[in-house]
Amino acid sequence: MGDNIHKPLGQDRRAGKTEAPRSGGIRLAPVLAVIVVCAMVGAAGWISVSGARITTNEAVIVREAPIAGDPAEIAPGDTPGSDAAASGTEATVEEDGAAAVASRHGQSGAEISTTLGDDGQEILKIAPADRPDNRPVLLTPTGRIGQDPRLAHLPDPAITRDTPQGPLPVRGAGNERAFDIYARPWSGARGARVAIIVGGLGLSQTGTQYAIRTLPEDITLAFAANGNSLQRWMQEARRQGHEILLQIPFEPFDYPANDPGPGTLTVAAGAETNLDDLHAAMGRITNYTGITNFMGGRFLADPDALEPVMRDIADRGLMFVDDGTSAQSLTGTFARTLGIPYAAADMVLDGTQERGYILSRLDDLERTARRNGMAVGVASAFDVSVDAIAAWANEAKARGIEIVAVSATADDPERQ
């Protein structure tokens, strides 16, 4: 060792070699990690203080807690909807006999304040209001079209008002319409599209169950206003993805020899009685996009009798679908005048209850759709009709025919 012990350490090292950092030195990676963490914390703090927001263009339905169990039938008196609900406040959905889920629409029941951000932009802050017993709430945005499939069997409180006749559809505070909210979506693509309406649901319990279980979800179902257990069957149909209509009985030319049934709207009854009967029928069911007629040759051809009914339908944001059985019907004229979404059937598919005949009529409907771009057919919920329609619909899709709900064929003045 000699005198080397007195030399400063490291003086005899060869040039060009580096020394590994000692344990007491400063490591670069930990320093960078600390800087990144500090930056993230600082950014989060800036966002919370400045009110900066992350926005999205998607309309989202927020479910704060899962819904337990399947809803049982909602009786008209228990169905959500009130004057407050129509203006956007809270309504309660009954499930299995107990209040399970409250539904609030838009800014209902919220604490709203407006502030200015650093860039001078106005920021609207909406804070949720307190909820009784901290129960779950369904939040739905305003100005939307369509209904979340998971909630399709539940009435939308923004467009439902409770009345002595039952829950009736109304236009929402943001002009939302049942025609939009309860409509079944479609692709919007060009090409031949066919809508098929199967009516008379609710008149036969077994027939109704069979139709809902057998028909593809693209088929529109029309519930007879004088049927039974309508709210129960409506919920089942909506869970299966069907768009639905309410089928109202109107006076035919040979009435009363040919009687459409209880609650028939007649020319002689007058506007007040007819509107009472119409509202009583409307109050028996919810979640329908519009009204369709059952019979009605005489009533639909009488302008004085028809006008108040069509005005009421327009005011409620509903569609009218004419079954096409009356050549003298004035529904199309009133629909254009009053701005009602309107569709008319091109043909009745099951005038003869025989499978071969029904299939031939369906082929005619397809040819009409290819020629005109779209076509609408109507049928009744007989087993033979249901079986033929179900089989044909599956085959037609393979040939490039799009089966759509009837709302997709409607002429809507508000969308033009």
pLDDT digits (tens, 9 = 90+) for 288-340: 999 999 999 999 999 999 999 999 999 999 999 999 999 999 999 999 999 99
- Residue 102 has phi, psi (to 5 degrees) of -95, 145
- Classify burial at 173, counting beta carbons within 10 Å of its beta carbon; exposed 0-12, middle 13-18, buried 19 or more: middle
Residue of 134, 140, 144, 170 lying closest to 154 (CA atoms) = 140
The pLDDT of residue 304: 98
Q: What is the pTM of this model?
A: 0.69
The pLDDT of residue 141: 52
Instruction: Considering only residues 13 and 322, tell me which one the structure prediction assigns the higher pLDDT.
Output: 322
DSSP summary character for residue 134: G
In DSSP notation, 20-76 reads PPPTTS--HHHHHHHHHHHHHHHHHHHHHHHT-----SS---EESSPPPS---PPPG
Tally of helices (H runs) and strands (E runs) in the chain: 11, 17
The pLDDT of residue 349: 98
Written as one letter, the residue type at 361 is R
- Cα–Cα distance for residue pair 287/231, rounded to 1 Å: 9
- Give the up-direction half-sphere exposure of residue 206: CA atoms within 13 A in the CB hemisphere: 1
pLDDT digits 0-9 by tens, 182-234: 999 999 888 999 999 999 999 999 999 999 999 999 999 999 999 999 999 99
Mean pLDDT for 364-380 is 97
Structure-token pair, residue 296: 């009605």
Tell me the sheet residues that pair with 201: 223
Packed helices 205-214 and 383-398: angle between N→C axes, nearest 10 degrees: 10
DSSP summary character for residue 183: P
Structure-token pair, residue 194: 């066919």
- Cα–Cα distance for residue pair 199/60, rounded to 1 Å: 33
What is the phi-psi region of residue 287: left when phi exceeds 0, alpha when psi lies from -120 to 50, beta otherwise?
left
Residue of 340, 284, 282 lying closest to 311 (CA atoms) = 340
- Cα–Cα distance for residue pair 45/40, rounded to 1 Å: 9
The pLDDT of residue 176: 94
- Cα–Cα distance for residue pair 18/6, rounded to 1 Å: 23
Tell me the sheet residues that pair with 221: 198, 244
Pairing of strands 122-127, 111-116: antiparallel
| Res 241 pLDDT > 90 | yes
The pLDDT of residue 184: 95
- Cα–Cα distance for residue pair 379/201, rounded to 1 Å: 11
pLDDT digits 0-9 by tens, 60-114: 333 333 333 333 333 333 333 333 333 344 444 444 443 444 444 444 555 667 7
**R_g over Cα of the chain:** 31
DSSP element (H, E) containing 233: helix 230-239
Alpha helices in 240-354 (DSSP H): 271-282, 297-300, 303-315, 331-338
Report the mean per-residue pLDDT for the chain: 80
Q: Which residues contact 232 (CB under 8 A, 6 or more apart)?
A: 72, 73
- Cα–Cα distance for residue pair 204/238, rounded to 1 Å: 18
CATH of 193-415 given 3.40.800.20, 3.90.950.10, 3.30.300.130, 3.20.20.370: 3.20.20.370
Instruction: Considering only residues 276 and 116, tell me which one the structure prediction assigns the higher pLDDT.
Output: 276
pLDDT digits 0-9 by tens, 17-72: 444 444 444 555 565 666 656 666 565 555 444 444 333 333 333 333 333 333 33
| Res 129 pLDDT > 70 | no
The pLDDT of residue 10: 43
The pLDDT of residue 137: 55
Residue range(s) of every CATH 3.20.20.370 domain in the chain: 193-415
Pairing of strands 244-250, 137-140: unpaired
Percent of the chain with pLDDT over 70: 68
The pLDDT of residue 111: 64
The pLDDT of residue 249: 98
pLDDT digits 0-9 by tens, 136-178: 655 555 445 567 888 899 999 999 999 999 999 999 999 999 9
